[in-house]
Amino acid sequence: MYTRLLPGGHSGPAARGIAKVPIDIEVADPVMARLVMKFGGTSVANVDRIRNVARHVKREADAGHDVAVVVSAMSGKTNELVGWCREAAPLHDAREYDAVVASGEQVTAGLLAIVLQEMGIQARSWMGWQVPILTDGAHGVARITGIDGSGIIRHFEERKEVAVVAGFQGMHEPTRRISTLGRGGSDTSAVALTAAIGADRCDIYTDVDGVYTTDPRIVPHARRLDRVSFEEMLELASLGAKVLQVRSVELAMTQKVRTFVRSSFDDPLDPKPGTLICDEEDILENNVITGIAYSKDEAQITLRRVADKPGVAAAIFVPMAEANINVDMIIQVVSDDTTTTDITFTVGSADFERAKAILESSRDKIGFATLEGATDVVKVSAIGIGMRSHAGVAARAFQALAEKGINIRAITTSEIKFSVLIDSAYTELAVRTLHSLYGLDKPQ
């Protein structure tokens, strides 16, 4: 039976007659549970680290839980495979590209199953097409459309067998071709599998022990958060925090999948609890600001003296959308004579040159005088569901940044976040200023 990933919750433990696992779980549940554990590339970088991962899995299996493990390729392996594809042909068949790059996760899954078997744990590897995990046909950036978890569940019930699933991959059912989910897709695989098999929670093991108030490399006294709402995590992930892939957070939110971010480098016998990603109502007290994120993957484009008339914005942004270029932080300033306007917006730095080429090719249709661009910019954001009920949160930040001599190029806001675009040279100063301004460096 296929589980379709649709808005709303999943079947969950209650539907299976299994007791709901307490939300303040730390190491092992007081009742038998069904778990999904995901391990990233740095966690499985070599065979020794795979053995360490196996000890984490063994801890949960020995506690009597049904365990499915989702693994990434070994650190650096996907980049190597992508490089081989580009070396073979700069313009290559996306379907064959997927066949090549999906092999990294297959190697990891097989190795982890071997190590678990050596430890006396019943285990087998599953490729995406074996589960199967079904996707659409957008090779390289496919989206999951459904999962049949019945085979894995049957092996839980009949053999008490650990399922080791290759992440990042699935199958396009009409063509029976291997498909891949894009960078960070193993996180999405894990969350989707959690929903499909009705698991009690999804543990994402990475090289950090949770979600922090900001990057500890910039603010050494940044704090690990015990809990973060789905909405806050979605904003953090989309605004520069690298802990989770954005699509995986979207799935966790729509499917109501409780997700922990934990460290695979903790002692397998005494792991830390990590950070719980959960519904807002499961958080007892909402801080005004939960975290500060930053993204260096930004470029600014300004079109000067654009004709101020209907259809101009569409002439600029429709071609961007058709080229799959994401646009953010749009600002329009009308001139004094009201006949022309300046339009400023940001794109990802990787899309900067393509965006300029598209605009230049449409210069006559758009009617701008000059095009200016900058790549030495960074977006700094403050995120917190407490902003909904507090006024003047962003204004305090603007004043604090001004006092530090930091000029703001552009601003965007939403219900639970605001972002400012500044010169990249001021990144660390801005992050530290906002982190202190909202009391995030104070122990709780």
- Binding site residue list for substrate: 78, 105
Distance (Å, whole) CA 159 – CA 169: 25
Pairing of strands 340-347, 327-334: antiparallel
Q: Which of 134, 231, 236, 246 is nearest to 182 (CA)?
A: 246
Separation of CA 335 from chain center:
40
Contact status, residue 53 vs residue 20, Cβ threshold 8 Å = no
Distance (Å, whole) CA 196 – CA 192: 6
Distance (Å, whole) CA 123 – CA 115: 9
Backbone angles phi, psi at 91, to 5 degrees: -110, 95
Please calculate the CA angle 144-1-259 and round it to the nearest 5 degrees. Answer: 50
Distance (Å, whole) CA 81 – CA 104: 8
Give me the long-range contacts of 93-100 (CB less than 8 A, separation at least 24).
Answer: 94/139, 94/140, 95/139, 95/175, 95/177, 95/178, 97/139, 97/140, 98/139, 98/140, 98/169, 98/177, 98/178, 98/179, 98/180, 99/177, 99/178
Pairing of strands 275-278, 259-263: antiparallel
In sequence order, the β-bridge partners of residue 379 are: 295, 421
Joined tokens for residue 435: 């982190």
Backbone angles phi, psi at 376, to 5 degrees: -90, 50
Percentage helix, strand, coil, to 5, in the chain? 35, 25, 40
SS3 324: coil
Q: Which residues are annotated as a binding site?
A: 38-41, 78, 105, 206-207, 212, 217, 242-243
Contact status, residue 161 vs residue 113, Cβ threshold 8 Å = no
Q: Which residues are annotated as a binding site for ATP?
A: 38-41, 206-207, 212, 217, 242-243
Distance (Å, whole) CA 386 – CA 287: 5
In sequence order, the β-bridge partners of residue 158 are: none
Give me the long-range contacts of 131-134 (CB less than 8 A, separation at least 24).
Answer: 131/165, 131/193, 132/170, 132/171, 132/173, 133/169, 133/170, 133/171, 133/189, 133/192, 133/193, 134/2, 134/170, 134/171, 134/172, 134/173
Separation of CA 438 from chain center:
25
